Structure 1
Amino acid sequence: MKERRNIRYISGRIWWMGMAVLALLVILTVTQAVLFFQGQGPIWNVLLTAAVLIGYLIAAVFWISRPYQQAEKTMERFLEGYMVMAGDGARAALLTPTTAEEMKFMEHFLHSPQMMDLNKRQAQYLALQNQINPHFLYNTLESIRGEALIAGLDGVADMTEALAKFFRYTITKVENLVSVEEELDNCETYFGIQKYRFGDRLNLHIEYDPKEYEKIMNCRIPKLTLQPILENSIIHGTELKIGAGNLYIRFACTQDRLIICISDDGVGMDEETLAALNRKLGRGNDSFGSPDEKKGGIALVNVNNRIHLIFGDEYGMHVYSVQQRGTDVEITIPITANDRDVKNRSVLS
């Protein structure tokens, strides 16, 4: 926060100095115009001061204001915890030559093999940490399932088996990319667990062009992309609706993109909430801030950030919603059947 206050303090100084110069030019131009109309000065004085005023305004906007805003935005992105993308520092108008050298060093360091290796090691550590004693969890669930079968509680046994399968996918499968088929299988497992709670009140529909089945199912996608959004649709959409609810996972292909739409016919959201959420998603890598958890934004932002990180900012998600009509979450990713074809392979573990 100290760095941000310093940036704004310097910005304030530049703004006040600029306004002072502008005020002087306006006064000078008006003065020359008054003298001209009173017959006490030549026309070229008015034209010259007016030209200087217009030139100053153009220079202030294009040479000072816009580049400085870009520099401030770049710095704020860094302060929010995201790496500065390559070239951002070069495009920004920096305060001093020393700042330019510091930015160049920072870009070189953040994109160095050592930094990438450190990020990989941290991710691997977290993945291993999340797997601590998973067999205890599976064995416990299997014991519960066995007791349920002995007691004749087939429903409890099936639910326990589904829960073990869901945890096994979530905890054990640590690679960054999986196939759409694997993600769908995990969604169906999760939905099967939810059916024990909602019964016939909840229905899941999966739609795609049969001619594109192999292409869609083999496409690589970040692990846990679909299930968190499906869960979000249930909790914040259909669960709050009176009566039965429907969930849809639709797939469509363009020449080089896969478009996935996860929809519900639940309560939807108002325009203000929708706009705020899409602004968060649209900001891409500078959206570390968390939207209101009660409105279900955290899962969406998390998935969207991972898509940006792996595939690039041109991919991601957008949300469409109408109150009492439902919500559509549209995800766009490149059609990739091999991890080696991913744009940012260095972020993969």
Structure 2
Amino acid sequence: MEKKKNILYISERIWRLGLFVLGMMTVMFAFAFFGAIRGKSPIWLAVFSGVAELAYSLTGWFWIIKPYRNSEKIIERFLEGYLISETDGEKAAMLTPYTAEQIKYTEKFLHSPKLMDLNKRQAQYLALQNQINPHFLYNTLESIRGEALIAGLDGVADMTEALAKFFRYTITKVENLVSVEEELDNCETYFGIQKYRFGDRLNLHIEYDPAEHEKIMNCRIPKLTLQPILENSIIHGTELKLGAGNLYIRFACTQERLIICVSDDGVGMDEETLAALNRKLGRANDSFGSSEEEKGGIALVNVNNRIHLIFGDEYGIHVYSVPDRGTDVEITIPLTESDREAKNRSVLK
């Protein structure tokens, strides 16, 4: 237990005791300095006292205070989720061996296959558990659809069928990655439901190069990437404008990336709101579990964080907007047709 004492704590106490010595040295320097001026003491004594005081101060600064502050910063970064590199370890020279050992153990545990497997099992259990309750929902919707057909309410029956299909995809389909084609099909189902509310006031356009159709439709993206953003475009964009509104989902390919742009010609947002939203999106894996709502920020941050977790921080979302002209939400992901090509496959179920 004695070996596990906080060396930095002891060093700091030594420095505090040394403050008394520093005070005495300051008094000695003052007496020697004024004595040398008056010719009552040799000049070398004043010089020696001043050099000794300066050396003591610099030693305390570089040996204790600076390493102490470095250690604090490194521990703060570790608590924020950053790993401690060898360079950081050298800077934190006063970090105790026991503390360093505990941090290394924590790092090892956080990245261990055992923890990953535990998280997967928990996610799979929750997914299976959540599949039980929707059956009641599906059966109820099917009953409503049947009653609507008997009563000749074809519109209600079609809307109920679309709602059941939407929930089946959203709740039951537990894969983390789906094809663009599946995601688009869900978007069209969702848009069909919204059409019952908005009628001809709302229009959806899907645009891509026909020559790249197969490559785009087979690309793998996180499930529920497009629909939440499309929903934001309706709620925070076209719904708030007068007259008809248009929504666009555009696809473009580079050699290694798929770029998706979900656009609307709605009310847009001002520069300050736009800048704050993009700053929030630029902070990787930030705002998990946040309840803060701003211009659809929750859905955007959620989708952006999932893209970061699966594909890496070099991919994600950026927003462009002009007041009274509309908003473009640009999504960048790697162009891949296999889940195995995802950078962080361990987060997939």
TM-score, reference length from structure 2:
0.77
**Bigger mean CA deviation after superposition, 91-100 or 250-259:** 91-100
Residue aligning to 2:244 = 244
Give the secondary structure class of the aligned counterpart of 1:320: strand
Give the secondary structure class of the aligned counterpart of 2:263: strand
Residue aligning to 2:169 = 169
How many angstroms apart in 1 are the aligned matches of 2:158 and 2:207? 26
Give the secondary structure class of the aligned counterpart of 2:213: helix
How many angstroms apart in 2 are the aligned matches of 1:320 and 1:88? 36
Superposition pairs for residues 294-313 of structure 1, below 5 Å? 294-313=294-313
How many angstroms apart in 1 are the aligned matches of 2:155 and 2:80? 50
Contact 1:290 1:297 in 2 (8 A): no
Q: 1:145 to 1:303 in 2, by over 3 A?
A: same
The letter of the residue matching 1:279 is R
Residue aligning to 1:188 = 188
Residue aligning to 2:133 = 133
The letter of the residue matching 1:330 is E
The letter of the residue matching 1:170 is T
Q: 1:101 to 1:142 in 2, by over 3 A?
A: same
Residue aligning to 2:77 = 74
The letter of the residue matching 2:121 is R
Q: 1:268 to 1:124 in 2, by over 3 A?
A: same
Contact 2:274 2:320 in 1 (8 A): yes
How many angstroms apart in 1 are the aligned matches of 2:239 and 2:72? 44
Q: 1:129 to 1:91 in 2, by over 3 A?
A: farther
Contact 1:200 1:244 in 2 (8 A): yes
Please tell me the root mean square deviation across aligned C-alpha atoms, in Å: 3.4
- The alpha-carbon deviation at position 130 of structure 1 amounts to 2.1
Offset from partner CA, 1:164-200 (integer Å, 9 cap, x none): 1101111111011100000000000000000000011
How many angstroms apart in 1 are the aligned matches of 2:335 and 2:73? 33
How many angstroms apart in 1 are the aligned matches of 2:265 and 2:72? 42
Q: 1:249 to 1:108 in 2, by over 3 A?
A: same
Q: 1:109 to 1:184 in 2, by over 3 A?
A: same
Aligned residues between the structures: 302
Q: 1:289 to 1:127 in 2, by over 3 A?
A: closer
Contact 1:238 1:264 in 2 (8 A): yes
How many angstroms apart in 1 are the aligned matches of 2:335 and 2:127? 26
The letter of the residue matching 1:324 is D
Larger Rg: 2
Q: 1:286 to 1:91 in 2, by over 3 A?
A: farther
The letter of the residue matching 2:252 is A
Offset from partner CA, 1:290-311 (integer Å, 9 cap, x none): 3732521111111111111111
Offset from partner CA, 1:54-86 (integer Å, 9 cap, x none): x99xx9xxx8799668625523424xxxxx4xx
1:121 lines up with 2:124 in the alignment: no
The letter of the residue matching 1:136 is F
Contact 1:249 1:263 in 2 (8 A): yes
Q: 1:243 to 1:73 in 2, by over 3 A?
A: farther
- The alpha-carbon deviation at position 136 of structure 1 amounts to 1.9
Q: Structure 1: 5+ residue runs without aligned partners?
A: 1-9, 18-51, 79-83
Contact 1:229 1:262 in 2 (8 A): yes
The letter of the residue matching 2:246 is N
Give the secondary structure class of the aligned counterpart of 1:239: helix
**Once the two structures are aligned, what percentage of the paired residues are identical?**
80
The letter of the residue matching 1:176 is N
How many angstroms apart in 1 are the aligned matches of 2:302 and 2:69? 30
Residue aligning to 1:29 = none
How many angstroms apart in 2 are the aligned matches of 1:69 and 1:295? 37
**Bigger mean CA deviation after superposition, 259-268 or 287-296:** 287-296
The letter of the residue matching 1:183 is E
How many angstroms apart in 2 are the aligned matches of 1:132 and 1:289? 25
Superposition pairs for residues 1-349 of structure 1, below 5 Å? 71=74, 74-78=77-81, 84=82, 87-90=83-86, 92=88, 93-94=91-92, 95-288=95-288, 290=290, 292-349=292-349
Give the secondary structure class of the aligned counterpart of 1:248: strand
